[in-house]
Amino acid sequence: MQLGLNLNVNDTVPETMAKSREAERLGLDYIWISDLPSQRYAPVVAAAAASATERIRIGFGLISPFLHSPLQVASSLTTLIEAYGERFELCIGPGDRDQLRRVGVDLDRTEGIPTHLLKAKGKIQRSLKDRGLECKIWLGAQGPKLLEIASSFDGVLLNYSSPRMIEWTLKVIHKAKGKMAERVGIFAPSYVYKNFRPEIHRILQYASATVALGASKSVLEQFSFSEMLEPAMKRFASGTHESSVLKLIPSIVIEEFSILKCQHDLPAYLDELRRLRVDHVVFAYPQGYSMETIRELANALVS
């Protein structure tokens, strides 16, 4: 199993570089750099992280080909690989609907999303191959329609953490083409701690709630979350303050979309994921909140 840390998009570039160095020093396998269309351009941040490190692999994404053309993505990867070596990987997917809407991309009016993603993956790979370069391409997916194409990618990254949801995912992938995805990973809001801090737990709750509220309708219906989340969805859509939205979300929903573990409990959870053949775990924000929270994660992994 390979383990990674998703760095906070709100960090300054110097903070990102310092945390990247620390993640490498502590022995993590990956850092992942997210693309936030209205806030942060991932290739620039990935370059800064690469310049501060030597060996750690750098995940680049989730990148939406509905915002960045396949040739733009391939060009960014080419520049990064030529400058810092073949230690980059890419995750593509539709992207966050709310974030994309802020920059003029409306996924609700977009048809043929799975086909578009497959074509984008092919164009990126061909462009890199023409330059003699390689890069693994992951699919960021949730619902059945996207999961059906997962085996055509180098791996699939899921943004929920519940073993029962992961088990359902694996059945959907296998049923679609009679084979599994080459690799299965999760990318979930996380807080692995030694000394519990309520303020970080609060951030985790809101990060998990945001993921749940943006989840595929089919996933929410499959796990009977739709009715539970309806009041919160209406409040969230109106732009109401986060504390008001959180009060409307049942704790069970938060738990299904996040990793909240004390250091001693983490190994048992990772063993359960191994049983399900999950071989890549990305501890997403707020795990990267500070140097302290990054070290707490590393200490739990050593155990």
- CATH number of domain containing 25: 3.20.20.30
Asked whether residue 241 carries a pLDDT value surpassing 70, the answer given is no
Average confidence (pLDDT) over 165-188: 86
Asked whether residue 104 carries a pLDDT value surpassing 80, the answer given is no
Strand partners, 36: 40
3-state secondary structure of 37: coil
Q: Residue 40's pLDDT is what? A: 75
- Tell me if 202 is assigned to some domain: no
Residue bearing tokens 């890549």: 280
Q: Residue 72's pLDDT is what? A: 94
Q: Which of 102-106, 179-183, 249-253 has the lowest mean pLDDT?
A: 102-106
Q: Residue 38's pLDDT is what? A: 66
Pairing of strands 259-262, 30-33: unpaired
Q: Residue 264's pLDDT is what? A: 94
End-to-end CA distance of the chain: 15
Range of the domain at 184: 2-192+257-302
pLDDT tier at 127 (50, 70, 90 boundaries)? very high
- Tell me if 119 is assigned to some domain: yes
- Tell me if 96 is assigned to some domain: yes
- Tell me if 296 is assigned to some domain: yes
- Tell me if 155 is assigned to some domain: yes
**Which residues neighbour 260 within 8 Å (Cβ) at sequence distance 6 or greater?**
190, 191, 201, 204
Question: Global pTM?
Answer: 0.93
- Tell me if 245 is assigned to some domain: no
- Tell me if 100 is assigned to some domain: yes
How many domains does the chain fold into? 1
pLDDT tier at 279 (50, 70, 90 boundaries)? very high
Asked whether residue 227 carries a pLDDT value surpassing 80, the answer given is yes
Other beta carbons less than 10 A from residue 223's beta carbon:
18
- Tell me if 220 is assigned to some domain: no
Structure tokens belonging to residue 290: 């500070």
Q: Residue 197's pLDDT is what? A: 96
Inter-axis angle of helices 291-302 and 266-275, to 10 degrees?
A: 60
**Which residues neighbour 138 within 8 Å (Cβ) at sequence distance 6 or greater?**
59, 61, 89, 90, 91, 92, 153, 154, 155, 156, 157, 183, 185
